[in-house]
Amino acid sequence: MSQAAPAPWHKGWYAAARHVPSPNHGPRPTGTPIDLAVLHSISLPPGQYGGPEIEQLFTNQLDWQAHPYFQQIQGLEVSAHFLIRRDGELVQFVSADDRAWHAGRSSWRGRDNCNDYAVGIELEGLEHHPFEPAQYDTLASLLQAMADHYPDLRHVAGHEHVAPGRKEDPGRAFDWIGLRQQLAWPDAAFPDGITHPQ
């Protein structure tokens, strides 16, 4: 008798991701539905890919003296729920049931404090620079898996949309049209006025 396949989710942890638990999280407000995914971009040091620094930052283990840029963010305690590496690898830091520290001062369609009701997804990359096809494939798969597990999750936006004027990521090179085609979600699920990269 064959064993049943493991459940894709367990207490907010996604089985398809590599788990690197972060201490930087807290509870969501009681009764708050998870209904938004916020997309970010990150690279540490800026423009360098593949190293351990992002994971170190989200787990409070980054050596602030290892690079001059790190001194600008010294003491920062942040996290996201997920990171998608350039090769499409998916890393999870915080249970999606919990509140990660990713959006900061933010608002989406009239509701403040996006961290309370959003899942934060970091894409390894620079603002306004193209992302890799493997990242879009992983992102679309993750978003659909989250929508299947969290029935209220039906919207996705960039950090630039929830914190306009303060943040610019993932930036103008992000292919919103391609993501929309991969997901086949309705237009209302996406930010108003999104366009294909030039």
- For each of the chain's 198 residues, which pLDDT tens digit applies? 556 666 899 999 999 999 999 999 999 999 999 999 999 999 999 999 999 999 999 999 999 999 999 999 999 999 999 999 999 999 999 999 999 999 999 999 999 999 999 999 999 999 999 999 999 999 999 999 999 999 999 999 999 999 999 999 999 999 999 999 999 999 999 999 875 544
pTM for this structure?
A: 0.95
CB 54 within 8 A of CB 41: no
Catalytic residue among 53, 55, 122, 127: 122
Please name which of 26, 86, 78 lies closest in space to residue 55, comparing C-alpha atoms: 78
**Confidence at residue 198, expressed as pLDDT on a 0 to 100 scale:** 47
Distance CA 92, CA 75 (A): 22
Edge-first strand order for the sheet with 90-92 is: 18-19, 90-92, 82-84, 118-124, 36-42, 155-158
Residue 122 designated active-site? yes
DSSP assignment of 120-139 equals EEEEES-TTSPPPHHHHHHH
Distance CA 2, CA 135 (A): 33
Note the helical H segments in the chain.
53-58, 133-149, 159-162, 176-183
